[in-house]
Structure 1
Amino acid sequence: MALSRALRGISDRDSSGGASGGDSPGGQTVISDSVVAKVAGVAARGVTGVHSLGSAPVRAFGAIREALSGTDLSQGVSVTVGDTDVVVDIVIVAEYPVPVHEVAAEVRASITRAIEDFVGLAVSAVNVTVNDVHHPSEDDQTSRATASGIPRETPRESDNTMSASDKIKNAAEDLKGKANEAIGKATNDDSKVAEGRAEQAAASAKKAGENIKDVFKD
């Protein structure tokens, strides 16, 4: 819910209308949903066996946002706040080899304690989704690739990207050749016709070469 919820702290009053237990005034404490989500995120991050929060797209977007404006502590957390209770949904990446069910149970307990103690709301449910498992070897591979200057994309991905780019260029050159040939015929310009045909021939030759490379890659 985007709407903030209010916790009313109205002091007890006696039958005469005066405040009992001192002169502290009653009032209203407004706690934003984002505060509850942040408290839950902080509590989850502190649990042993939690590598990170959020699904892969959320983590990727969060990395960009963190680079620009600092850490998003509520990443991967959504809350539904009622008048007196809250339901938390959280997505985590667990650390291998910590048992997943133990991590989820501790995340649930940690979030419940934090919200009840810090915010003062009862927690009716904490739904934990384990989206991925992180293995220490993944960090080692990333470190070696970064140290050696090797891009993280695979050769196959690079080849496919280059091939797609070449095919687009070849198609554009072929269309240009056909256009020049048509213009030459319309204006009786033999040199323009020849230029267009030459461009089409060059595009066809490149296309044939790409097809051969595709065969060998497959």
Structure 2
Amino acid sequence: MSSTQPGYRQPSELLEPFSEQTDTSIERSYDDVDVQQIATLLQHINLAWSRVPRTYIVLRKINRLDTLADLIAFGFTDYSIPITPRSLPRPLDITLRGEFERAQPCVLTQLFNLERGVHGSHVHFPPDAAIPLLHQGTLGTGGYGVVDKVQSLISYKTYARKQVPRKFIIAPKGKKALQLLENETEVIKGLNHHHIVSFIDSYTDSDFFALIMSPVGRWI
């Protein structure tokens, strides 16, 4: 007799809908909510896999999950994406490199570009976006905002994040706050030294304007 309770589904079963195609003529793409849900389910299957949900998605899409352990052992992470045939680890055959490259656009979401400062653009997130930054403590407060320590759920690097409530920007005196933020952003963008803060990226969500900076030690 099975010990599984009626109605209970294993995490592996819950992953199945993410792989199904409702229309075989359309290549499925994954949004940031999908990626986060898959990462959460993978925590119950293989913790190492849960740290590379985009890599898992691509390999599952091309039916090559058998290579995931080798990729992880090599040091490959989601931050290694996007890849070219030459940049994928050598232990993997040339055919797999090409398949991976062709399939990877399905996981190149807006949030994925947050740490990369793609074309130096500011990122705008919709209200329901799951921003891939894990809060790890407050580093300081002052002026218009709060600086906290965050860990990326993509690269697992640690950053300092300055958040300013948008209500300060749209308030009667918001023009001054916005000007200060713009000036600070431009100054940080111009810095590039390991002893001082450097600009990583910036974003706006429904509640905050935020700057992502490195290294964290500068704020401790």
Normalised by the size of structure 1, how large is the TM-score?
0.23
> How does the TM-score come out when normalised to structure 2?
0.23
Structure having the higher Rg: 1
